[in-house]
Amino acid sequence: MKICNTIEEMRAACRAVRRAGKRLGFVPTMGALHEGHLSLVRAAKAGCDVVAASIFVNPTQFGAGEDLAKYPRRFDRDRELLEREGVELVFAPSAEEMYPAGAVTWVTVEGLSDKLDGRSRPGHFRGVATVVAKLFHVVEPDAAFFGQKDAAQVAVIRRMVRDLNFAVEIVACPIVREADGLAMSSRNAYLDGQQRNQALVLHRSLMRVRKLWESGECAAEKLVAAGLKEIAEEESVRLDYFEIVEADSLEPVERAKSGMVVAVAAFVGTTRLIDNILL
C-alpha cells in the first residue's frame, strides 16, 4: 500500500492506475475508521480494480466551537485497517498541502447546503463540497463511495458532481450499525457508557417512524410527531432536527413516500450524532 502525503505524488499514482486502464475507486475519509468506512472500502473493492482512500481531517468543515481539535486521529491504526482491506493508495495530506496560504476559492452548493445539518452547522457543507471537489481533482476517481449515514452530505455531493460535470459515479452505501442499532460513527468514541445507551434513542425514534409508516400512516406531521415523542422519552438527549425530506433536494415533505429520508440529529452530552433511514 502506497501512502502519498503530497498532491503531486497522489496525482501521479492515480494517473498511473488510470493509464493502465484500471477502474479507480475512491473512499474519502477523515480517519478514525470503523466498520462503516470499511464497508465503503469493500464496496469499492467489489466494483473497481484499484482502491484509493484519503485520510484528512478537513478543518474547513468544522465550525467555531466544534470538535476539530479533539476529532480522533489514529493514523497508524487506520493505515493498518486499510492495508488489511487491500487498499492500494492512501492520500494523507497536511492541512497546508490541501489549503495553500491565501486560498480563497470555495465550492458552495446553494440551497442544499443550508438544509438539515447545514442549518445547524453553517459553512459545514461549503467545507465538505470544497474538500471533496479538491480530492476529486487530485484522485480523478471513476467512482467515489460515501456512507448513507450522512444523507445530506450525499445529496450535496451528488448535486455538486452534476452541476460541475465531474466524471465520477457517486455510490452511497448503507449505514452500518452496532448490534443494538447505534449507527457507527467516529464520534461514538466521545460517548461514555451511559451516553452510549442514551444515544440508542436516535435509532429507536427512526424505527418507531418506520413502523408507523409501514402500518399505513403517510402524513409527515404525524410520523415526525411519533419520532419526536420517542426522542423526548430520553430526557438527556437534546434534539437538533427530526425531518422527513426528499433524498435529492432535502426539501421537507407533507406525505412520506418510499425513497424519502427520515433524518434525525441530536446532542448526547456535547456529542452531536446523526442518523437516518430510507423509507
C-alpha cell at 253: 415533505
| Residue of 271, 31, 265 lying closest to 150 (CA atoms) | 265
Shortest distance (Å) from residue 43 CB to ligand PAF: 15
Q: What is the Cα–Cα distance from 102 to 97, expressed in whole angstroms?
A: 12
DSSP assignment of 38-80, as one string? HHHHHHHHHH-SEEEEEE---GGGSPTTSSTTTS---HHHHHH
Torsion region of 111: left, alpha or beta (phi above 0 gives left; psi -120 to 50 gives alpha): left
Place of cell 452496532: 178
Taken in order 56, 38, 192, 183, is the CA torsion positive or negative? Answer: positive
Task: Note if 203 is an active site residue.
Answer: no
Cβ proximity to ligand PAF: between 7 and 128 the closer is 128
Shortest distance (Å) from residue 28 CB to ligand PAF: 4
Interface residue list for ligand PAF (CB under 6 A): 28-30, 58, 61, 128, 131-132, 150, 153
Cβ proximity to ligand PAF: between 74 and 204 the closer is 74
| Contact yes or no for 253/244 (Cβ under 8 A) | yes
CA triple 44-185-82, angle to 5 deg: 40
At residue 10, what are phi and psi to the nearest 5 degrees? -65, -40
Shortest distance (Å) from residue 36 CB to ligand PAF: 10
Residue positions counted in the chain: 279
Shortest distance (Å) from residue 128 CB to ligand PAF: 5
Half-sphere exposure at residue 47, Cβ-oriented, CA atoms within 13 angstroms: 18
Cβ proximity to ligand PAF: between 85 and 230 the closer is 85
H/E run at residue 83: helix 75-84
User: Among the options 37, 124, 137, 203, which is catalytic?
Assistant: 37
| Contact yes or no for 244/144 (Cβ under 8 A) | no
C-alpha cell at 275: 442518523
Cβ proximity to ligand PAF: between 4 and 220 the closer is 4
Shortest distance (Å) from residue 23 CB to ligand PAF: 21
Single-letter code of the amino acid located at 235: E
Furthest C-alpha separation in the chain: 57
Shortest distance (Å) from residue 16 CB to ligand PAF: 23
Catalytic positions, written as ranges:
37
